[in-house]
Amino acid sequence: MGNIVAIVGRPNVGKSTFFNRLIQRREAIVDSVSGVTRDRHYGKSDWNGQVFSLIDTGGYVKGSDDIFEAEIDKQVILAIEEADAIIFMVDVESGVTGMDEDVANLLRKQDKPVLLAVNKVDNSKRLENAVEFYSLGLGELYPIASTSGSGTGELLDALIEILPELEDEEESELPRFAVVGRPNAGKSSFINALIGEERYIVTDVAGTTRDAIDTKYNRYGFEFNLVDTAGIRRKSKVKEDLEFYSVMRSVRAIENCDVCLIILDATRGFDGQVQNIFWLAQRNRKGIVILVNKWDLVEDKETNTMKEYERRIRSEIEPFTDVPIVFISVLTKQRIFKAIETAVEVFKNRSKKIKTSELNERMLPIIESYPPPAWKGKYVKIKFCMQLPTPQPQFAFFCNLPQYVRDPYKRYLENKLREEYDFKGVPVSVYFRKK
């Protein structure tokens, strides 16, 4: 899934500022996601067309009595072991410190390429002072200023040169469905129930699954790759070192799938963490199916209990409410095949291509009957529309004054597209361009 670059160093040298600058270099910003312990983030960046994942590690402090610092140190070591390349950041203002030397000693033991970035070099005097970091014995140094971005281009050019070449993976034409959710929501049991074998270890201990695992599914007329991921947990709940990577691989599984099957525990509800997973999938423009598992364990069910439960979920995911919700029980296999049928339908909706002529025949009369409201005395005239050649549904509407189209009208057109064409479970993007 791409190279991994770890940013390491002692506390307060500017790692997070540098990290934030890198992930925002993408034209389409990919959110960074808070991770395991304090000051832990990961995200995606690219430079000159090469995409890589970034780990922003916490500050490394050898021998600290602080229990949090000790935990961060463990994770820094794991990040170094996981990474394909390392950016070691130091601070020109403070010069070489004992902690810098500790990190350098740790890095010299690794058989990984290391780039030494000297931060806060924003004038000629500091550039002269940066040379003292050659004493760390890590080769060439790269003076940068992470706040302004000075020098980061040269550093990233060097990074791309040292990243190992990735083997070309065979692109499968099969859809990829990622099974995601909180730990212990029933993800592995769901897959076991589908494939009819105990392929995955299933226990009542959260966090059993450590990696994202692909399974080819070919039964009952359906064929796709099913991806089981480790449960995503809030960073305050994560205790084990390995779980940091479980979270990262789950996020990357979402980024690289077509449809997310978000499994939640009916007895816990659509809580904040499940909502975070939902919005992560939505921001990545993935198809989404919400599966409410353990419905058989909900007590005191009445005639409208399911409808009320569904209403509460939809109120939490507004305005993107056109999402299928399926109530299942993995234990009794209740409606699990309905869940797969729904996921296949969402995949087809996401892959749908509409001819430009047909799109204009349907949408232009709708626009004519209700044109964009005037804004600041300006009248917008939409003349033409088309679907963009992207993996997910995106539509461009060409008009004379795109800057005067307000968000409510964009949502109106999105709703009309959903009425005319079935895009259930799929985020739809609407853009206005100058004709």
The reply, when asked if residue 73 is annotated as ligand binding, is no
The reply, when asked if residue 3 is annotated as ligand binding, is no
The reply, when asked if residue 415 is annotated as ligand binding, is no
Strands 382-387 and 394-399: what pairing? Answer: antiparallel
Contact 182, 237 (CB under 8 A): no
Please report, rounded to a whole number, the percentage of residues in the chain having pLDDT higher than 70. 78
What pLDDT was estimated at residue 76?
65
The reply, when asked if residue 296 is annotated as ligand binding, is yes
The reply, when asked if residue 295 is annotated as ligand binding, is yes
The reply, when asked if residue 188 is annotated as ligand binding, is yes
What class is the 4-162 domain?
alpha beta
Tokens for 269, please give them: 């509800």
The reply, when asked if residue 40 is annotated as ligand binding, is no
Judge if 4-162 and 356-434 fold alike in CATH terms.
Answer: no
The 10s digit of each residue's pLDDT in 136-179 is 988 899 999 988 888 999 999 999 998 887 655 445 578 889 88
pTM listed for this prediction: 0.63
The reply, when asked if residue 225 is annotated as ligand binding, is no
The reply, when asked if residue 228 is annotated as ligand binding, is yes
The reply, when asked if residue 119 is annotated as ligand binding, is yes
The reply, when asked if residue 235 is annotated as ligand binding, is no
What pLDDT was estimated at residue 62?
55
Local confidence band at 99 (pLDDT 50, 70, 90 cut-offs): confident
The reply, when asked if residue 332 is annotated as ligand binding, is no
The reply, when asked if residue 122 is annotated as ligand binding, is yes
The reply, when asked if residue 184 is annotated as ligand binding, is yes
The 10s digit of each residue's pLDDT in 172-223 is 578 889 888 877 788 878 888 887 755 444 444 444 344 445 677 787 677 8
275: pLDDT strictly greater than 90: no
The reply, when asked if residue 355 is annotated as ligand binding, is no
Contact 41, 78 (CB under 8 A): no
The reply, when asked if residue 379 is annotated as ligand binding, is no
Instruction: Kindly state the helix (H) or strand (E) to which residue 155 belongs, with its residue range.
Output: helix 152-162
What class is the 356-434 domain?
alpha beta
Local confidence band at 322 (pLDDT 50, 70, 90 cut-offs): very high
Report the C-alpha gap between 59 and 69 in whole angstroms: 8
Report the C-alpha gap between 431 and 413 in whole angstroms: 10
The reply, when asked if residue 216 is annotated as ligand binding, is no
The 10s digit of each residue's pLDDT in 6-61 is 888 887 788 878 887 887 643 333 334 433 334 446 666 778 878 787 777 765 55
The reply, when asked if residue 231 is annotated as ligand binding, is yes
Domain boundaries, the chain: 4-162, 176-351, 356-434
Give the closest residue to 191 by CA, choosing from 208, 171, 220, 216: 216
248: pLDDT strictly greater than 60: no
The reply, when asked if residue 286 is annotated as ligand binding, is no
User: Which superfamily, per CATH, for 176-351?
Assistant: P-loop containing nucleotide triphosphate hydrolases (3.40.50.300)
The reply, when asked if residue 293 is annotated as ligand binding, is yes
The 10s digit of each residue's pLDDT in 378-413 is 888 999 999 999 888 999 999 998 888 888 999 999
> What is the pLDDT of the chain when averaged over all its residues?
79
Residue type, 355: K
